[in-house]
Amino acid sequence: MILELYRQLKEIVDSEYSDITEESEIIFSYAGRARKLRLKLIDNTFIDIWHSQEGEYSFHWEQRHIRNTIYRHDNAPHKKWSTIKTFPKHCHDGIQGNVTESNLSSNPNDALREFLAIVRKKMIELKR
């Protein structure tokens, strides 16, 4: 089930976001289970996308080795973010402790498109 979701998400990435991605790959555990979808971006950063059967997710743009920043939307119910209006959904913007609301869709395909639209916009802004 999760493997099929990652295949769908990979197809969206490959067909709609080739302008910002160099490669998309489903990462498997040693036991052969699909663990996450990894996207390598044209600016030498990467995005890890993780989903669970229970509906947990994380869209994590790792930039620490290039810009010393991260950008992540997830729904881990950390008590310290319980004051965020969209809790448990939240966004780590720039650093782990800078947390804001996350309005990503609950639909994984739509959420991916929304997240990658944000990434695309931020990449354009960084070029200026």
* Nearest-10 Cα torsion for 39, 72, 67, 94: 170
Low-confidence ranges of the chain (pLDDT < 50): none
What pLDDT, on a 0 to 100 scale, did the predictor assign at position 93? 94
pLDDT tens digits for 3-37?
A: 999 999 999 999 999 999 999 999 999 999 999 99
Distance CA 32, CA 28 (A): 6
Give Cα 4 to chain centroid, integer Å. 17
Provide long-range contacts, Cβ within 8 A and 24+ apart, for 50-59.
51/2, 51/5, 51/6, 51/108, 52/2, 53/1, 53/2, 57/108, 57/111, 59/104, 59/111, 59/112, 59/115
Distance CA 32, CA 106 (A): 27
| Among 96, 93, 60, residue whose Cα is nearest residue 78 | 96
Contact, 101 vs 86, CB < 8 A? yes
Task: Please give the model's pTM, rounded to 2 decimal places.
Answer: 0.94
What pLDDT, on a 0 to 100 scale, did the predictor assign at position 127? 76
